[in-house]
Structure 1
Amino acid sequence: MTETTTAQAPDKKSLTRAFAASLSGTTLEYYDFAVYSVASATILGKLFFPSTDELASTMLAFSTYAVGYAARPLGGFIFGRLGDLLGRKQVLVFTLLLTGISTFLIGVLPTHAAMGGMAAVLLVILRFAQGVGVGGEWGGAVLLSSEFGDPKKRGFWASAAQIGPPAGTLLANGVLTLLAAVLTTAQFESWGWRVAFLLSAVMVLFGLWLRMKLEETPVFKELAAKGEKPKAPLKEVFTKEPRALITGILIRIAPDVLYSLFTVFVLTYMTTKLHMPKSQGTIAVMIGSGFQLFLMPAFGALSDRFNRRSMYLLGAILAAVWPFLFFPLASTKSFAAIIVGVVGALAIHALLYGPQAAMITEQFSPRLRFTGSSLAYTLAGIFGGAVAPLVFTALLSGFNSWVIVALYVTFTALLTLIGVLISRKEPHPEEDNLEALSTAPATVDA
């Protein structure tokens, strides 16, 4: 049987399945993550961390939110390595099961009223497991779609995984909003919030069905056939491609922080400082996420036609400026102003996040791509999204001013700008030409 010689021309059915599997899997996993994120800002603090101080209770809930991010590097280390050794498909089945089962168990977990402090301990453990699963998911999901597609259109095909966060956020906010609308406050706090977590079981089954029908990606199959899989991918990433790893970490930080501000912390800010209904913030996030469903692939596709680095530079600059526009708008306590501010912020996030998957993966050579991308993604999460809600809450409490919060976002945007400036100047789609795959690490443009 003649071996495939190029990764650019898989059959259309396999390509469609890969795109759908990448999209549905990350949507499910970010639905799980987003359900927790929204719940931590609205209900989990009261149920698992009771306190007479509302802000302290929220801080404790955000601490378990951070645990999910802190666990991601472990997932990146474990599953990233396995993805370069065993293959993309197998690893993505494991990550889907781990995240889905953890989320389902949160839905049946007794609260502090029933178990005391042990309830909080179990919640943290399950949140940790969620984070491990998500940490291994992203790198594989990106490769699943991009390694089936034309590498010259990597920005678009890799964006399948990027649509997962807004799609998951939209679903999570929609489910929680619907439950809060049809149930009384007592019903929602007693059992209604659990439904959102339990629904993950249905989506896990759908995601598994899609992924089990897939073949391995052409790029990985060719690497395996040529005997060019890495023996120690973790070591090789740190020793042979450290600049790629640093670049990947830095270019993720600002988008993570921006997303945390405008999908998680904004709900707390509206209720505690502006004394506006949390439902209005949730609606604004849902509208912004709806736009992102279309903006993510659009910006990904544009990055294939125009310079990806230039687009990212523009996004980082806008991310640095936008909070200084949003908070004065929000101070008017106008629902319309909140919508404009949140939608604008999430559009900027899409400008960064749409091309991000392609930009990170093309920093690494194909044989180390799962490990390198996963490590960059997960390590950046610690410095970005993991601590952002805690930092925002602490800064707002300590300085009682939104200006310091905006300055923190600007600082993270500067870090991302540095990452863009040291990144490879141009993508190298010829690296995915299967005949050209080699053990040489990705070169870095001067």
Structure 2
Amino acid sequence: MTAELKAPMTEELVWANVLRPRIPLVYLDLNTIIYIARALSGDTKVPGSYLGLYTAALRAKLEQRAMFPLSGEHLWEISKITDPKQRGDLADILESLSDYNYLLGRTVIAELEFEAGMAKIMGEDIAAKSVPLVRPTFGQAFGWVGGMKIRNSAGGDGSDAVRAQMTDADFDKLMARMNYEMERRMLRGPSDEDLEVLRADPNFQPEVVIEGQKQRVQWELDTERVLKEHPRWRRGRLRDVIGAREIVHEWMDMFTRMRIDRRKVGMPDFDPPDDEMRSFMGSMPHTQVAISVKTRYHKNPLHKWTVNDIVDIDAVSIAYAYCEAVFPDKAVRAALQSSKELRTIGTFVPRRPEELTDWLDSLPAVVAPDLLVPHPIPRPTCADTADALPNRRSRQTRQGIGARGNAATQRATLR
């Protein structure tokens, strides 16, 4: 553990019991996608290196050397854009890179980290309870299982009735097309015409979600109040203060419920000694990332907390802990890079698009890239890489192919 902290992040983290592809996961925040879209449209104010990054990312995805999952925060941020065309342009790029694969959301990840931590301390085996870290549906970001269902006029399952009217192959094609359209529309958000219809529905209440995020901002503003009343904490054990408030505000209800659920099914109560409890709380990867970033923000008493801060931290807390590379905005990157306690995780956080381009181009091909394995995955070894020459091209050869394919890529993506 980090010696100067009384309740630090542990050196041995306890990961959520998830299965993920063997290839690296790369998280691009929406700012990066916006720059790519502007570069593709010919905006000369945007560095051309964003075109190179997009080409390298597409190549890595097509060669199955990397995956570029989305998060629920992408949906949130795109939904705030009022121009349907701009939303569509960004969604086109995200679709081309992600194929609508989404990471698990923070609430599910937190519960899995709690469960894994409890199991470790109690000596329990939860290996059979693994869940996928990434799935090709937006529901993954919200912990929803299943996909689109056909309902009849009575609200029941109408799948069999539709299937009876066509061949199994045609039914499967229909469902695949409907699922694709659902994912596509969800990422793009409603058109102006659709929005008018939605607003007439009393169940359409986006303000409820917005209010929830504003309440979380208020909690950080209250933390500012506490720090002003006790300025020595900002100069000293600030991370301990932020960590305690984070656990209490964000996760104490979940922790209490999980303890109650254990007793209901006859499992022993989870009530470890104080030292083990501190270790338990300090071993949850995504929570510790959030604590570190919030600590860096709270070091600056002039920082103005916004909903965007909360959304960015939610996204990066999962991405930094469970992806191999993250390309966030400058503020988040500075917070991650200045948090020495996070370096044990080893996530690559480039400063410029060129750095990420080089990193992507250096990724080797991997045997059985779709094979699901427990997280975290070990670093690639010679035995893991394929000997296919196309994936071992020199940087110059890759750039040449990228330049030749750039115009076609732009047309296919921004259709």
TM-score (norm 2): 0.27
Max radius of gyration: which structure? 2
Q: Which has the higher contact order (CA 8 A, sep 6+)?
A: 2
When you count helix as a share of all residues, which structure comes out higher? 1
